[in-house]
Amino acid sequence: MAGSISYKPQRAQNNLARVVCQRNGRSDAKPLLRSLHWLPVRHRITYKTAVLTHKVLATSMPAYLSDLTSVAAPARHLRSSHAPLLMVPRTRTDTARRAFSVAAPFVWNSLPDTVRQCNSTDTFKRHLKTHLFNLP
């Protein structure tokens, strides 16, 4: 049932891609989405969450979202400690996992170091979209 959250929006996006590309309803939508440079719905959600998290970390604005994120302090110095990871709060329910305070650190920590270390927002967006397009 967890996959059904984005099933209908993904189906709508697939149908829209077929209309834009003037294909019939039986054609595979994945190559069409790729040719249009459209991320699938689940990757688009990840993209939006990651960009918002990057902006919060870079500018500490808006303050109400900045208060919900905290950098995880490693117990000892590691080579990977130059790439800040965020602390993911423990939750018990699926609804709580969708909160920004949980979803943002989870998405941020799942990104490769090369994406997380981008300084400018434009560079971050470009690397992030490339990364998400290369995922299955």
| Nearest one of 43, 56, 55 to 107, comparing CA atoms | 43
Predicted pLDDT of residue 136: 84
Model confidence pLDDT, tens digit, residues 40-91 = 999 999 999 999 999 999 998 999 999 999 888 766 666 655 668 999 999 9
Q: Kindly state the percentage of the chain with pLDDT values over 90.
A: 79
Q: pTM (2 decimals)?
A: 0.84
Predicted pLDDT of residue 8: 93
Task: Report domain extents, the chain.
Answer: 1-38, 40-133
Q: Is the pLDDT of residue 36 over 80?
A: yes
In 3-state terms the chain splits into helix, strand, coil percentages (rounded to 5) of 60, 0, 35
